[in-house]
Amino acid sequence: MNESFTDEALRANIYEGKRISPDQGLRLFEWDIIELGQAADYRRKIAFPEENVGFIIDRIINYSNICEAKCAFCAYHAHAGRVDPYELSMDEICQKTEELIQGRGTQVMLQGGLHPDHTLDTYLTMVKTLRERFPDIYLHSFSPAELTHIACKSDLSLDEVVQSLKDAGLNSVPGASDLLVDRIRNAVSPKKCTREQWCEVMQTLFRHNMTSTATMTYGMGETLRERIAHLEVIREVQDSTGILKAFIPWSFSPARTRLEHISPATGMDYLRMVAIARIFLDNITFIQAGWLTEGTKLAQVALTMGANDMGGVLTEEVVVKATGIETQITMTGMTDLIRDAGKTPVQRDSQYREIRRFT
């Protein structure tokens, strides 16, 4: 056996803080879960030595579910037949933002589908109106797929789209990635941006000094090697840009989607993905525990296996809810959850800076 592929060499790389290869990452799927978790927690301490766990108070405002992508994994778009088609008015969006602010929230995530009639002007109106009405709110909004869609519909370059949105008041863009594997994207979301286009959006945000995140939706029929391939794309993008503030893995919820024949991933699958992501993504500081999709108890365990952030205390969430998952948590519940994991709860802002510490 090649020396670099032995478990001894892999352990040495992990505990010496060295980068592991894709083949070594694949090998981690075979490790005992306890040893894997301990190794991931060690790598977490290298990346983030403090025993703090952050969370943000935010609100996802899904301004429309009219979407021409019609992804097979989505139960929320109008054509899925689970939710009636709708579009929020600007007044409704502002009302939801006002409610967030009254609850001490700091971040709004405007998200919607690939609307067939929306152009850049539609998005600029949303951003400018919120910025004028709520100058202190942080707008972490849209997605790489939406930005690519806007550029196509408006016959503009990505640079023009990003600069216009930034000038209007957009602060950053969530890097919704789904699974960055062309075989899977062609099968479940052929009308969304490609892997190459996702990377192009990240490079464009970098050129305009804007930050993002990266996600991973696994359990859609991919192989373990394809999961590592997804992580490899993200690691390479971070190497070249440094704009990814966090990585957020979550399991696909097949209920009520066109992929409901797929068996859902297990809790053990999730903990493995968190741990392997922590070890493989040596250039990303924050790994989020996905309490919304995985449940609060499993997310709490993830905090001992490489995760060091709990994401948002969401004032509103409807897309995951459309699949039948209705996990909720209050700020008190969040702080208790973090404390019970032996960590210190910290309310953070969108750039992962501390706002308030719960000692």
Provide the token pair at 288. Answer: 């989020």
- Report the binding-site residues for [4Fe-4S] cluster: 67, 71, 74
Give CA–CA dist 145/113, Å, rounded.
9
- For residue 309, which phi and psi values (nearest 5 degrees)? -150, 150
Any residues with CB less than 8 A from the CB of 305 and at least 6 apart, and which? 36, 37, 40, 41, 271, 274, 275, 278
When computed from its CA atoms, the radius of gyration of the chain, rounded to whole angstroms, is 20
- Report the binding-site residues: 67, 71, 73-74, 143
- Report the binding-site residues for S-adenosyl-L-methionine: 73
Place of tokens 């969304």: 192
Provide the token pair at 251. Answer: 């399991």
Of 97, 79, 80, give the one whose Cα is nearest residue 88: 97
Amino acid letter, 190: P
Give CA–CA dist 277/21, Å, rounded.
12
Any residues with CB less than 8 A from the CB of 348 and at least 6 apart, and which? 54, 55, 56, 309, 354, 355
- Report the binding-site residues for (3R)-3-methyl-D-ornithine: 143
